Chains A and B, each alone.
Chain A
Amino acid sequence: MADSKALLRLPGRGEFIDRHSLIVRVTHWINVLCVTVLLMSGLHIFNAWPRLHWGQVSGSSADALFEIGSRRDADGRLAGFTRIFGHEFVTTGVLGVSADARGVMQGRAFPEWATLPGPYWLPMAREWHFFFAWLFVLNGLVYLLHTVCGHHLRRDLLPDRSDLAGLGRSFVDHLRLRHPTGTGALRYNPLQKLAYLVVIFMLLPLMTLAGWALSPWLDAVLPGWVNLLGGRQAARTLHFAMACLLCAFVLVHVFEVLASGVWNQLRSMLTGRYRLPGDDHDRRA
């Protein structure tokens, strides 16, 4: 293959390679901005109705799969609770009841420091959310075109046979915080490929689709399509659940960046240049 000819002499450890294409780098950082704004404005929008249901409609509080709320305790003080599948937790201080900018405790689902805007201002939260939703989708389309029509998908993301065979070992390596070095670091590792594929082709599209399902106008375009997601309230639940999974992915992603040489990784996502890491233990990849 053309790629292997170009790499007849594989670069060694300590050498610089071109890791990320310009399009991947630009779309990555636009995506970071979009996801951050979408998450925080989304939490604000959630606060307006802090319950999640399944099906078309939102029934009573008792029917909710998930709810964040507040009530007065025996001493008359505001107490926050979070209920997940019938299991209730006291979450005063963060969820249900939290301090506003002046330090006054108030009943609200997600705290002001986590939402955009901070104080309750639903129409403005919607403005932020929908503007950055468009940017997210357009940016995502540029990335997908580049990835699917270019060679990013086939060369970098799709696992080959050796990746699948090395999946178990990759898993153990992750748990031991050992990262591939030398020529092994020329490519994404098997678990990394799998995580990126799941996020890019399942999680983000499903989250977008579930967001569209919340629009009564879009629901009418193809009457009944929302039933495929379980109904409008189910779509709202899926939209929220996908956002939670995305947060989990970002936490692991940022942790891996920190654990595998933060400056090298950051430089490669900013300038494209990546220095192949060496390893004192001289582990063969």
Chain B
Amino acid sequence: MIGAPDRPPGSRAPSARRVLLARAVSALGAAMLAGCDRLSRSEWLPPLLALGEKLSSAAQRGLAPGALAQEFSVAEISPLFRSNGTSDPDNPDYQAMVDNRFENWALEVDGLVEQPSRFSLSALRALPARTQITRHDCVEGWSAIAQWTGVPLAQVLAHVRPRADARYVVFHCADPMEPDGTGFYYESIDLEEAVHPQTLLAYEMNGERLPVAHGAPLRLRVERQLGYKHAKYLMRIELVASFAHIAGGRGGYWEDLGYQWHAGL
């Protein structure tokens, strides 16, 4: 414990030597901890530590590039599925769309594509759908299982035809992350992950229209990565050669705050 609690009256005073020793040990410990925290803020250590994540990312992507995430049975669906991050976007334009049941919502797909397009919800629903029951793992540590129905992102990409120089798919969302209504959530994945068969633009959760708390009307599912990659409240999909020019330049809202772009662990 840091900071000794008050001694109850009448208790025996510890010997001076013991007090000195305890103080020395706790001072040494505090110095070491402060040292470690200073290391975390140093110029040289974080890039070195990041080697670990780079190795993990390379190993994971090399080991099983196209592997399918485990799928579950209806009986395994979680009764409780937390809504993390934004659960009701503080954005008047979005709230207006909620009010008219996303009738005039449309997904823009543009950037490095041959045929920039807009998809209404009914247009997306008209495309061949996929349903999967998967486990959602949050970076915080919790997990929940749900059934997702949506259109594989590969189909939307086939329609807009990415140009040869497109490398990443960026997802722009309707939920502002700053109190003043700016700093919209965004995420990105590479084209390989984008055409994975389980990568969905999901519009249904557990057989119902996607609830607002879980990203209505459309959210991303990238089943082999942690929850923050699964962008909610999708508005626009942009194909880019690099995401260095977008927001903090690290490919996502949480990535800009230090989280890893490859969220496989």
Contacts and interface: CB of A to CB of B under 8 A. Distances in A.
Interface of A: 40, 45-46, 48-49, 51, 56-60, 93-94, 98-99, 101, 103, 111-113, 116-119, 121-124, 126-135, 214-221, 223-224, 226, 232-233, 236
B37 A118 contact: yes
Given A94-B1, A103-B2, A130 B139 contact: no
- Chain B interface bracket (under 10, 10 to 19, 20 to 34, 35 or more): 35 or more
Contacts of A130: 49, 52-53, 56, 265
Task: Identify whether the interface residues of B are mostly helix, strand, loop, or mixed.
Answer: loop
Given A57-B145, A103-B2, A216 B80 contact: no
Given A113-B33, A223-B69, A45 B49 contact: no
A152 to B, nearest CB: 28
Interface in B74-100: 76, 78-80
Interface in B133-176: 135, 137-145
Interface string B58-78: 001001100111111000101
Contact of A217 (B76, B80, B225, B257): B225
Given A128-B49, A131-B51, A232-B143, A219 B69 contact: yes
A133 B226 CA distance: 19
Contacts of A233: 142-143
A216 B141 contact: no
* Closest 9 pairs between A and B when the two form their complex, measured CB to CB: A217-B264, A49-B141, A131-B52, A123-B258, A130-B52, A215-B265, A127-B49, A48-B140, A58-B142
B67 to A, nearest CB: 4
A40 B140 CA distance: 16
A133 B143 contact: no
B49 to A, nearest CB: 4
27 contacts: A46-B141, A49-B140, A49-B141, A49-B142, A57-B144, A57-B145, A94-B1, A99-B2, A111-B2, A113-B1, A113-B29, A122-B259, A123-B254, A126-B53, A126-B259, A126-B260, A131-B51, A132-B52, A133-B52, A135-B52, A214-B137, A216-B264, A217-B64, A218-B60, A223-B69, A226-B70, A232-B137
